[in-house]
Structure 1
Amino acid sequence: MKGAEAEARAGAHLASLGREIVARNYRIPGGEIDLITREGGTLVFTEVRQRRQIRYGSAAESVTPRKLALMHRAALTYLTRELGRDDLPCRLEVLTIDGPAETGPITVIPLDG
């Protein structure tokens, strides 16, 4: 599966920060959340992006406005469908790995709104 190594490393990294992994690869039609974690009382929805080479831009540059909109929709669906409400503390973020999935530097980018 493409991206599985990067997602596994991302999950291990977030767990090492003290987060509880709640769900992996939560899918809805047209969208997906790679990792859902809990940090204290806040749910965190994480998109994992990895680029082996920067020929076509960095991992962070690969996150499009459309992808952000789909992430937001999937997060809202998770809150309402799985938890029965949409007013819980939560946030979106992107975790990037530039270079090999196993060794490339990890950056966590919080998203506004």
Structure 2
Amino acid sequence: MAQIPARTDGAGKLSRKQTGDAWEQEARHWLERKGLRFIAANVRSRGGEIDLIMKDGAVTVFVEVRYRSSAQYGGATASVTRSKQTKLLQTARLWLARHNGSFETTDCRFDVIAFTGSQIEWLTNAFGE
């Protein structure tokens, strides 16, 4: 699984950012082993952030990476709410526009890589407009 960063906060625990970065790196490598090609990471706009942008052949894939230590409250996939999806769609729309594209002209999809405990789940085309 993910390499845990050596740096911690003063209490010896990983910060939320360090934990998130580690799981995003693990997701990137996992997807690369599945044949996807890395384009960008942590793409931010005023409305949100896209964890990873990958290419699957000619398809641009916007990837949301989620981690939960257990499924006690629904697991990692349950944390991708409608509000989160809306923010991801908005950020992807802006990213495409900056790269001379749009949802109408670019073949794209939204995937979720969900780590729940030691389990990994890849939801391809998890949601759309």
TM-score with structure 1 length normalisation? 0.90
Look up the match of 2:10: none
Residue 79 (structure 1) shift: 0.5
Structure 2 Cα separation of the partners of residues 57 and 63 of structure 1: 11
TM-score with structure 2 length normalisation? 0.79
Task: Work out which of the two has the higher radius of gyration on C-alpha atoms and give 1 or 2.
Answer: 2
Structure 1 Cα separation of the partners of residues 112 and 91 of structure 2: 14
Alignment of 1:72-87 (within 5 A): 72-81=89-98, 83-86=99-102, 87=105
Which amino acid in 1 is paired with 2:51?
D
SS at match of 1:48: strand
Look up the match of 2:77: 60
The alignment status of 1:107 with 2:121, answered yes or no, reads: yes
Residue 30 (structure 1) shift: 2.3
Aligned CA-pair RMSD: 1.1
How big is each residue's C-alpha offset from its partner over 1:37-71, in whole Å with a ceiling of 9 and x where there is no partner?
00111100000000012232210011110000001
Alignment of 1:34-49 (within 5 A): 34-49=51-66
Residue 93 (structure 1) shift: 1.0
**What percentage of aligned pairs have identical amino acids?**
35
Structure 2 Cα separation of the partners of residues 77 and 13 of structure 1: 26
What residue ranges of structure 1 are gaps of 5+ in the alignment?
none
